[in-house]
């Protein structure tokens, strides 16, 4: 076990190094220039562009820029080109905004998918199963932004309440339950939208896992012993069907920082995804690279966590 952890950490550090090199190269090779040194902007004279290039070290060779950037990142000195704010501070603020969205979305996904999937598996081939399959595919295939627009227009036109942003603007200083509920309401639509895709996919997984486990020998044995059907399903079958989902739990981690670009932009939610997206548009390299690096760390940490979790819950697995 310990040797596995040690090996895996070393492997992951090496991977991280390559990720940092490749992402750095990709961003610098991408077409377009940081908005401060864009030669297409008529307001900038060549001298200004030159001075900015110097200030951002863009006149140095790539490998020196690489060293400068990661040196600043590890000493916490990275600043955004756009507004000279510390990159880590910016990311932390945005992370806190994305967090509630992520938590509510995850709760919705994980609480809804299981009952839906299990029921589909129990009544497979029936009307409920078919309609849930239909809706799952519908939700998977409908473009998120389109669905979001439809929902927003519907809610605003029929209920006349604001839905955009983190709170109702100009609400003043209401009592705290009102304040809280107002925030919850603003969370509702974006997190439901963020969760729909997840619910659709996850409930399909649950269904197929249940079906697979149901045909196993130990389930048949349990039934043959005369164990009540409910106990067969929820104790013998479900517990074993849950195993693969433990690994998926580890993989949610990167979603924390990735946020959702589309949902956050549509709902003008000041989260991580939107910040990263706007940084990409402005070619704000420090922000893009920092977000990229952190999410790479989280992906690797996520896989590591799920490996370990798997070992813990499934004693059959020895690494």
Assess 185 for contact with another protein (CB under 8 A): yes
* Contact stretch for another protein (CB under 8 A) within 21-29, 36-44, 60-68, 311-319: 36-44
Q: What's the rounded Cα separation, in Å, for the pair 181 and 191?
A: 15
Beta-carbon contacts of residue 71 (< 8 Å; ≥ 6 apart): none
For the record, the structure tokens of 11 come out as 């492997």
| Interface positions, 228-247, toward another protein (CB under 8 A) | 230-231, 234-235, 238
For the record, the structure tokens of 65 come out as 């820029």
Shortest distance, position 296 Cβ to another protein, whole Å: 24
Beta-carbon contacts of residue 16 (< 8 Å; ≥ 6 apart): 296, 297, 300
Backbone angles phi, psi at 162, to 5 degrees: -70, 145
Nearer to another protein among residue 61 and residue 177 (C-beta): 177
Query: Are 255 and 101 a contacting pair, CB within 8 Å?
Result: no
Nearer to another protein among residue 267 and residue 293 (C-beta): 267
Assess 202 for contact with another protein (CB under 8 A): no
Assess 82 for contact with another protein (CB under 8 A): yes
| Interface positions, 89-128, toward another protein (CB under 8 A) | 90, 93, 104, 107-108, 111-112, 114-115, 118
| Interface positions, 257-276, toward another protein (CB under 8 A) | 265-268, 270, 274-275
Query: Are 199 and 182 a contacting pair, CB within 8 Å?
Result: no
Shortest distance, position 4 Cβ to another protein, whole Å: 33
Exposed / middle / buried, residue 295 (Cβ in 10 Å: 0-12, 13-18, 19+): buried
| CA gyration radius, the chain | 24
Provide the β-strand partners of residue 279: none
Assess 85 for contact with another protein (CB under 8 A): yes
Q: Which residues bind to another protein, rule: CB under 8 A?
A: 31-32, 40-41, 43-45, 48, 51-52, 55, 82-85, 90, 93, 104, 107-108, 111-112, 114-115, 118, 149, 152-153, 156-157, 159-166, 168-172, 174, 177-178, 181-182, 184-185, 187-188, 192, 230-231, 234-235, 238, 265-268, 270, 274-275, 278
């Amino acid at each position: 076990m310990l040797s596995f952890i040690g090996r895996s950490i070393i492997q992951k550090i090496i991977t991280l190094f390559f990720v940092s090199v490749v992402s750095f190269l990709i961003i610098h090779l991408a077409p377009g220039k940081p908005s401060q040194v864009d030669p297409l902007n008529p307001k900038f004279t060549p001298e200004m562009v030159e001075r900015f290039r110097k200030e951002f070290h863009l006149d140095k060779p790539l490998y020196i820029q690489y060293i400068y950037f990661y040196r600043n990142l590890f000493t916490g000195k990275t600043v955004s080109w756009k507004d000279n704010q510390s990159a880590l501070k910016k990311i932390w603020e945005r992370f806190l905004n994305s967090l509630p969205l992520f938590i509510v979305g995850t709760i919705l996904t994980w609480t809804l998918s299981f009952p839906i999937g299990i029921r589909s598996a129990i009544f497979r081939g029936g009307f409920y199963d078919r309609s849930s399959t239909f809706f799952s595919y519908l939700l998977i295939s409908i473009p998120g932004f389109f669905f979001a627009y439809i929902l927003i227009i519907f809610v605003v036109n029929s209920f006349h309440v604001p839905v955009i942003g983190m709170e109702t603007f100009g609400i003043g200083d209401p009592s705290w339950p009102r304040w809280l509920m107002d925030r919850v309401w603003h969370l509702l639509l974006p997190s439901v939208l963020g969760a729909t895709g997840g619910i659709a996919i996850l409930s399909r997984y649950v269904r197929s896992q249940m079906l697979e486990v149901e045909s196993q020998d130990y389930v048949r044995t349990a039934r043959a012993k005369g164990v009540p059907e409910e106990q067969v399903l929820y104790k013998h079958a479900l517990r074993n069907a849950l195993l693969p989902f433990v690994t998926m739990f580890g993989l949610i981690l990167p979603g924390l920082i990735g946020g959702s670009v589309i949902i956050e932009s549509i709902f003008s939610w000041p989260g991580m995804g939107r910040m990263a997206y706007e940084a990409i548009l402005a070619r704000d390299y420090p922000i893009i690279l920092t977000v990229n690096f952190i999410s790479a760390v989280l992906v690797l940490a996520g896989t590591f966590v799920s490996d370990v979790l798997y070992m813990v819950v499934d004693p059959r697995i020895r690494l």
